[in-house]
Structure formats: C-alpha cells, structure tokens
Chain A
C-alpha cells in the first residue's frame, strides 16, 4: 500500500477520537502522562485503572496515555470519554480514587462528581 493510501485508510478506519480506532471500545480513559502528570503520580493511577479493569474483566474500555492539558496543578488528571463523546475530567486522582471511578462511572455510568474538575476550578 502506498503511504498516502495507508494514511487515508487509517483516517477512514478510525471511529473518532474517543476510542482510538477500535470499534469494540465503548469508553476511553485518557491519563495525562506528561512530566507534570507522572511527577504527580499518573503512573500509579494508570496502573490502578488497568488493574481494576482487568480485575473486573472489562475489555471494552481502553486506557491511553496522553500529554498535558495545561492544568498541571490538577494532575494526575484523567479524562473519560464515553460513546456519546461526552467527556468527564477527574482531577488530583489517586489509585484509591480509581476503584470508585471504575465502579461508579465505568461500570454504572454514574459520574463521581466530587472528583471532577469542577470542585477545584471555576
């Protein structure tokens, strides 16, 4: 395949930013893992998400590392995007908070409002 065609394919084949190109992914959990995030503990948060998802046998939720959104004081920052494209930003995440986010948000679709950005930023 010529590179241009390949590029077009990649572009077409993608279902959009939420799922990173996989049809069977219903939710994308993006963990900010730039220097600021990692320094604040994003690696542990990412690991916690992966573990929790694995423990619960959840296969249609994808975790990805992303860069910095600019609100470094709120790191570790996690953004969860659902099928409808709606995004929820969780801030100052910890591995402890992850369990609740997975249980409530990922499994039951209830946003953990007290962990979201709104409590920290106007």
Chain B
C-alpha cells in the first residue's frame, strides 16, 4: 500500500493512502469522538460527532469517511470544533428520551458515554421531542423510536450485512424514523429476528423482548420443576457482562450462578447438539446414499430458517428436518427425562439461555411442541441472564466453578463448537467421517471450515467420497451462497448456514460491545477462540462418542432417524410471505 504524508494536530504521520482521517488519528493515538461510526458496518459520516477541521475546507469534515491524501492537514481540537460537537450532541440529546436510569443500556450506552466525555452539563436547545409508539409486537425484538438517534447502524446491519432490509429510514427531516415499511411492526414484515440490529445499537432503541419476568415468576412457583439449558456460545461471552475480557470462558461460574438462581437442573444444550449431529449426519448420509435432495442445509439457526422461509422457499426441502438443539432438548426433557424422573411434563418449565433473539421467535412456533407442551417455555439471552444474575445479587466473578447436572449434562467438544461459524459442519464431519469409514479418525480438526471468511468451501476426502461442503455466516453471505447454488455455479453435499456473522458467538442475544471496542477487537474471533479452547479441553470430542447420547438411543430413541426420533427431534417448514400485501 502506498503511504502518504499527513499532519494531524501538528503531528507528522505516514499512513496508508486508503486510510480515513479517523483511522490515521487512531493510529497516532489521537482520539476523535464518534457515534454513528461502526467499523466495516456503518461508515456514513452522518452523526457529525467526528468532525474535524481540514485545511482548505469551508466547513468541518467527518473524520470517519474523509480519505487521507498527500499533504493533508487536519486539526481535531479547537474551541470551534469542541463547540460544534457539543451543539450537535446537545441537539441529539434534546430529542432523545432521556430516561437513562431505567434504560436497558444504562452504563453501556454510547450516547451516555459521549455526553460524559464531551462534558455536557446542560442542554441548551430543548424543544419538541419526537413521540412515536413503541413496537413490541415481535416476540424477539422491541423497537423504541423515542430512544433512537438515527445513527443507522441497525439499518446498515439489516440492509447491507444481513440483506434482509426489514428496517430503513422512513419519513424525513425531524420526522425521520427507523422503521419497517409503512410503519408496520417488525412482526408484520420479514424481519428474521436475528437481533443483529440490537448488537449494533449504541443506545436503548433496540433490545430483546424481555423474558426475565416470566422466568422470575416461574422460579418463584413452587409447583414447577425448572430446568435450564445453556447454549455453547453463552459460556464464552457471559463473562463480558461482568467486566471480564472478551473470550473468557466462564462455564463453571455460569452453572453455579444458574443453580444459585434456583433452577432445579442445569443442563448443557451441547448434549442436544451431539444429538443433532447424529440425526443430521444420518440424514446427510441417507440423502447421499439414496439420492435425496442435496445439498443438505443445516437448521440450527432459527434466524436462518425464518430467512429461508421468507426469501428462499425453494430451498425448504434442502433444510435438515432437525429441530435446533435446544428444541430437541426441550422435547426430550418433557418426554424422556420427565418419564425417567417421574415428573408431569405439564409441571415442567424449560428455560433456554441462548446467544440468540431468534430463538425467542422459534420457541413460540406451534409445531415445536412434540409432547403437546411447548418444547421450550422461555428463552433468555445471554444479556438477560446477566441481568438476572445481577438482580439476584450474585457476585459472579467470585463464584466457584460447578458442573452441569446429570443425566443430561454430558457433552462433547463437537457440541461446543456449534457456537462458532463452521462448528456444526466440523462436528458433523467428525461423526460422518467415522461412520462412513467405519473407524475412529484421529485427525478431527477441520480448520478449512473455521475462521471469519464469509463463505468457506471445503472438499473433504472421506473414504471413497469427496464431500463438498460450504459454510456461510451472516445472511448476506447466505444470499450469495444460495444464489450461487441456484444458478448452478456450485454444488455441494452439505451446507452450514448461520444467520449471524461469526455464528452464535456473535448472536443477537450476546453481550453488546461498543463501537470503540469493535474497532480494535474482532469479538467473534475472540469468542470463537474460547470455543475452540473449550473443545480442545473436552475428553470426548465426537458427538457419536457421547455416552449420554448413546444411552439415550439405547434406552429411548432406538437409532438416529427412528420414528420416535422423528417425532421428538424433527420438524417441518413452510414458506412465509416476503412482504405483506399492503392494501
């Protein structure tokens, strides 16, 4: 990369020519405040907080989008710049619902932080405030337009990264609002409930639909048998909510906290992930052997499933009929486990702690109630669990490590890696390779499907078969991959798709990291690292070697793909309209 010479605040710098002023300044440890900026996702220069003085320019320029060039001279601080930033921030605050004390983002709000950093003591320009109704009809996402500061990160995420475009800016001027088309509810448009919008929101305008109250109520109900299960991605992120570094594994503390909260049993969704691999692996082998519909596409990500139903119904037959792991688990808890423990499934309450908001939507699908009762009764996001832990006064950091309960607590490394993109694929390959070759393979780390590349392809030699596989994460990448398959430019045996960029570790229910952090740390990568460490530490790393799962088949399900397995562990899909007909 060609380097150019520039001057920022008098400092002479040499920076690559494709840098923006903001990147150049950060490299020189010169801090410029930002608000709408989110690296790689929202670089639009809209909020005017990062304005700087560029020599020769009449007005201030947005550092986040202004490209450097040879001889560029920039000032990032002056009385005029400070005043302009303050005025703009006061204007934003003047139209912001400042109920900070009761806001879900209090302490993690980027606007709050900026107001403090810019030393805002008074809002000089008060006036009319926009008042729009709250949209809480979606089972997953609550939209509060009165807190929205129109930074458009959510729009960029939904439209450009996820390519769903359920929301955009509508109306104009002071009436501008981020909203689904025609001011419909998120529930009425093809929002896939992935929750990525929440993760990028700097304020409390987007959040998950709260389930903590339901769970508190259930916990207080002595008649109920409360069972909780946790997804693999939760244990590598929950610590962030308590100030621990990104990528810290807190599995033991998490289990301890859940027990302290009063759950009767704390189980590991990984067990069901292992089960998924056996069911899905069997499905794959059968489809390959019997000439079934290929590629087989994974079905663990409910955001992806909803996306497929809305936008790619022609691929519904390609989807694995496997329920997502926590739903499988729920169904087994209310059947096998209930029978075994002699508990009336009607008196059972299954809580899933998930890195995911789409699972809140998935939970209420009517078809996911194999036992006649919903497979899962409540879904908590990682963030909600953290809130409950704090509310309960639990000192998370000093908790001793505890282990998952039996009989459904045992899992393998294969189940753990479900949390990262490529993980389901890798776990399946570990099992499929053993089944097809009839031996236990030593080489089980399929690194070609790991990593942050948007679409990963691999050809894996298993015996006589060269298995062609592809992995996509983020729905924009999913679109690309599906279009490629549709146009006949690619053919695969097996495809893994995760709705969220980076997979479940970066799910819409995970702890929120602010723009400043996301500019320097790839949070998906750090959390995935912890996932793979967790895998490496596991004594058993292949799903089919999970003794718990083996026992389950022996005692209850028979074999993978059996009638009973289908009844409890599989589901079906139906097309959904892409956009509602507007009269």
Tell me if chains A and B make direct contact, with any CB pair below 8 A: no
Which residues of B does A touch, CB under 8 Å? none
Which residues of A does B touch, CB under 8 Å? none
